Amino acid sequence: MKRTAFFLFIALGASAQTLELDHRWELFVDEYLVAQKEGVALKLHDPVKREVVLTTDKPWEGLTCAYFSVIQDGKKVLMYYRGSSGGSDHSDAQVTCVAESTDGIHFTRPKLGLIEAGGTKDNNVIWRGVESHNFSPFLDANPNTKPDERFKALGGVKQPGKNWHQGETPGGLYAFASADGIHWKKIRDTPVITKGAFDSQNLAFFDTTRDRYSCFSRIFQNKVRAVQSHHSADFLAWSEGVPHQYAEGVPSEHFYTSATVPCPTAPHLFLSFPKRFVTTRKKVPSHKDAGVSDAVFMSSRDGVHWDRPFLEAWVRPGPDLQNWTDRNNMTANGIVVTGEGEWSLYISEHYRHPDHRIRRLTVRKQGFASMHADAKGGSFTTKPIKVSGSKLVVNYSTSAAGSILLEALDDSGAVVAKSTEIYGDEMEAAVLDLQQLVGKTIRLRASMKDADLFALRFAN
């Protein structure tokens, strides 16, 4: 990087607001930290497609199972989904099913004996009724939640009628609670959110950063499927929905679902994996319904304004033609830690086919995206940051010939701390000694070659 360009940048950015990161992880899924860069760019990393973990071939499940939610509760993983044989969105025959796992890989159906479906109670059904169309549970992280409401869920649809998709007919999302994730009750007999379309997965979670519940639900904007966000202090009284907002130049695309979650290691950051639905395409002429879909990736720091630096797919349909028929490649809601440095997500395949199923995907811990440099090398400099720990810890990867060099710069641009040249592949490497700079404001400069920097934080 040219020194004259750097000092010009420092002069222009001297009044930039100082970022206070405390000890939280910051992921390079956006350019929140970045003030200047040369020869480096954000890079989206593809997940690895792993094994099929569940095929929905039971009589009470069917070809149009959908809206999967995955919850990690201690050593147990619960997977919820709609059992549907292709009836209408308003059918009372729809059921909510659950599968269980101890490793996030091998799932079994518990025989619960609660509700008759498919001609038997010897099944894994936990709820029956129209709310099962999109019943979306979560494990409540609210420290003040009642013991018999450890699990919560939203579910429901608008009734048919003129302008139903604008929320002008009766119905909406009902609030549910459960102590164990198996036995559920409605918290209230009337819907808690009524303005929206809701014919999709409408999910919620407790936002530990902002100490409130967040909900992301389906709307239509100019006849395009979209998402709105709400918040609530008590899970019953919700704010008006606010449509997602994007930067200028980002295309308007059909987002069928959102699969929005707080990042496991950085809950102030929301990650979303929408199913992008291309309504006008038909790859398999013999298939009845039009439309093809894939999964994309985006992030947000407030739940309203969303960063989409990557307009390409996060998961493509691939060579399997049964993934090129309508309403496939729907990312389940939830991230499961399945190994040291491994996060698992799940995605649906073969919708409307006899072997409809869900497949596991894996990503590196915090590894959805990175600041990337190729073999030619490059660098970036951060905005002013207050040092809140004696060490800088990074999640990084290089080639055998690649490297990363990290420097701390003062207000004048002088180097006040410098790492050795690092190379390797580490999830949490302490690389820069900042003990003498705690409480002071610096800029970080990373000089990289054939390397990826996924995340960083201050630590003691």
Same domain, 114 and 143: yes
- pLDDT number for residue 3: 45
CA distance 203 to 217: 7
Residue by residue, what is the 3-state secondary structure of the chain?
A: CCHHHHHHHHHHCCCCCCEECCCCCEECCCCCCEEEEECEEEEECCCEEEEEEEECCCCCCCCCCEEEEEEEECCEEEEEEEECCCCCCCCCCCEEEEEEECCCCCEECCCCCCCCECCECCCCEEEECHHHHCCEEEECCCCCCCHHHCEEEEECCECCCCCHHHCCCCECEEEEEECCCCCEEECCCCCCECCCCCCCCCEEEEECCCCEEEEEEEEEECCEEEEEEEEECCCCCECCCEECEECCCCCCCEEEECCCEEECCEEEEEEECCEEEECCCCCCCCCCCCCEEEECCEEECCCCEEECCCCCCCECCCCCHHHCCCCCCCECECCEEEECCEEEEEEEECCCCCCCEEEEEEEECCCCEEEEECCCCEEEEECCEECCCCEEEEEEEEEEEEEEEEEEECCCCCEEEECCCECCEEEEEEEEECHHHCCCEEEEEEEEEEEEEEEEEEEC
Same domain, 170 and 186: yes
- pLDDT number for residue 245: 98
**Structure tokens given for 387:** 């040092």
Residue at a domain's end among 317, 347, 364: 364
- pLDDT number for residue 15: 54
Residue ranges for the chain with pLDDT beneath 50: 1-13
- pLDDT number for residue 85: 65
Residue at a domain's end among 316, 336, 364: 364
Same domain, 356 and 374: no
Same domain, 30 and 53: no
pLDDT digits (tens, 9 = 90+) for 197-249: 999 999 999 999 999 999 999 999 999 999 999 999 999 999 999 999 999 99
Instruction: State which residues form the domain around 90.
Output: 48-364
CA distance 442 to 64: 54
Same domain, 359 and 377: no
- pLDDT number for residue 8: 43
CA distance 156 to 290: 25
The CATH number of whichever domain residue 84 belongs to comes to: 2.115.10.20
What total of structural domains would you count in the chain?
Answer: 2
- pLDDT number for residue 460: 93
Same domain, 53 and 20: no
Same domain, 300 and 404: no
CA distance 365 to 8: 36
Same domain, 350 and 395: no
Same domain, 272 and 220: yes
Give the angle subtended at the CA of 261 by the CAs of 256 and 265, to the nearest 5°.
150
Same domain, 346 and 405: no
CA distance 337 to 261: 14
Same domain, 209 and 313: yes
Same domain, 329 and 398: no
Residue at a domain's end among 321, 342, 364: 364
Dmax over CA atoms of the chain, in Å, equals 77
The CATH number of whichever domain residue 401 belongs to comes to: 2.60.120.260
